Structure 1
Amino acid sequence: MPPAPCLLMTPDVVDIHPAIYQAMYAMEPSPAELDAVTDETTAMLKVLLQTANGFSFTGNGMTRSGTELLAEKLLRHSETVLVPIYGGDGQRLARRLERCGADVMTMERQWGEVFEPDEIVSEMKRRRPALVGLVHGDLTTGQMQKLEEIGRACQEMDILLLADVGATAGCVPLRIDDWQVDAVAGSPGKCLCIPDVIEQVSYNERVEARLAGRRWRFRSHEASRREDNNREMPRYGGELESIRGLRGLRQGLSMILREGIEARFARQQLHAGALEAGLQAMGLQPFGSSTGKLPMMAAFSVPEGVSGVATIKRLWHRGIAIAGTPAGLDADIWRIATIGPGASRQSVTKTIQEMELALIEEGFGLPEGLALAATEAFYKQYE
């Protein structure tokens, strides 16, 4: 077991800020607070997504359930969907859309690279799908696909664009109105650092027109509260637990907005840059394309002669968790993220120090202290 507390520097599991736990569990949920919490959370969510969509809300659900629910209700049986895949998250999106009954067509890029927008647009023209499903940021490879040109082409061809923003909302700038993205969904459990008990969803008038006339509507917290106006909610039940999730999301969003969205992005990029400077000083090589890189995540190839798994275990016993090679990738890599508490100078310098010692113990020859010096030199440029 690692010493407690363990510093989570992985893109897969992140530390929950104590203020979020306090907001969720310090007081017993009350049905009377649902209106206020829902309104405040929805307003802040629209600021984060940079959208004026009237259809922005939250709903109960685990990771990526919002994306699947959107697709299930938007698509008719056997309707065609195009999913560009550039990592494991894209593969999972394709499987979810298949479960919704869609006829899924895929195009694939080598993991660690992203598509040129023209490639996706050309495939859209050739196949004419009803919907394009795209992962904005893929945590298995640390890459991010641009959406602007694809959104514009979807509008011109009357194709809906659905984007999974679970890995980017709160970590990178999102401008879904400017990018003409029709619908977005994603769990706030990564960049907003709250438990995965709630989903954030936003869609525009084009999606609403597709849904018009159908019996189904999202059971969002907005809809739930209207239905509950004339009945007393049970003291213990799913409704009260959903209030806890809303409280956590509201707290996470308010922390971002208090810091300032641009300031938060700049802070995460600063610490990610310092982390990469230290890793490169160790002689490690970045994995994947630099043009499509997620700004808050570092993916590096495991050097020859070093066991990636053994190094992760050494760090784990030193109280630091990083991620290894995801399923489906042939290359051996380490994945380290500067999200939440990991986006701090103390966390980055500790990770670099312990990573250096772990590599030396693995027999990888490098001068002790060189990596930390490179990290500190990077920080001094911005003091």
Structure 2
Amino acid sequence: MKILTNIRFAQTAGISQVLVSFIKFIEKSKKNDLSIVGVNIIGKRENESYRGTKRGNVKIISAGFKRIPNVAKVVKKAKSLDEVAKRYHKVISAYRKAIREEKPNLVLINGTYFMPWCLFLAASAEKTPMVLHYHGVLAKETEGWKKKQRNMFKKMEQSFDKKGVFYIFPSKITKKVVENEIFFHRIRKCAVLPNPVPLHFFEKESKSSAKNIGIVSRWTKIKNVEFISELADYNEKTGKKFNINLITDAPFNTRHMKKLSKKVKLHKPRNNKKLAEFYEKMDVIISPSHFETYGNVAKEAVASGTPALVNTAMGVGETFKKLGLNNFVTSFDSIEKVYVKIENVIGKNIEKPVRDKIKKLYSPNKIFSDLINILEMAI
């Protein structure tokens, strides 16, 4: 089986790290007929380029462009999805070229944002079998945008509803949201597969001081960032009982972040392995997101031995309940109740049997083997 997929190399933690791990898994695979082509779209290049490098059963195609249109501006001006597609014609053409030249058995589309959407349009035009791996519900991710842009993004996501496409969801709650709020019908050709935990998280041992709260979050509305400010204020009022640490992509020099930095220690994003060191130093991780298809941060923290509290509308909550960590799944509606919850779990390291179970059920080898089986079934 030959897979073609969209990739993005990034140093910060997130789904891009999972994709890189998946490629490494295939590279080490002993299946003779298994190979993958990753297409990386790159902007801000002096000249347009299209290059491929191959090593064994892995090929990386880098398509460089002088400028990739800003999606916020594009959806603001566009009157239809066709107009959006025209603005990304060169990107779609690069994907189509890769599909025609590589002749994959299937195209694995990672995510629902505009770049995966371009790959979806390319695969549709080339009539290649598709599997959509749902990472983020776009309509929810863009709830903080203006109405016209929100509507365009929702139409973009709804266009993924196409006969013949197979869907992979990281959680049951994601499948339910897509069925009820995006596609408005039951999805039959699908599978639910949780995200993996890289093995380096299991090498850490949390050293408890019962003082440090850790948060890892993009600064967007869906991440419930207003709760972070509320927590900081409440912690000040109760005598600064805890030290709050925040890793975020938000610029530190804004008025709001300067104000927040007086109550919260700010940290810049870091690569996945250094993130494990951050978890090791924390006594509890909190994830207050209004919604997440999964929530890698919380499971990575628990794998590192650090307790993690997650909001009820996060896919990782399903995993926590399977692990017997039901008390880590809680509502973030009341700052007072969450603070009490933090007091109850902070510093209580995750027991070895639980960490061993996470490693057994969610290691990269286990999850990626399941993913390959699903992809083979899909075609």
Give the TM-score band, short-chain normalised. 0.3 to 0.5
Give TM-score, length-normalised by structure 2: 0.33
Which one has more relative contact order, counting CA pairs under 8 Å at least 6 apart?
1
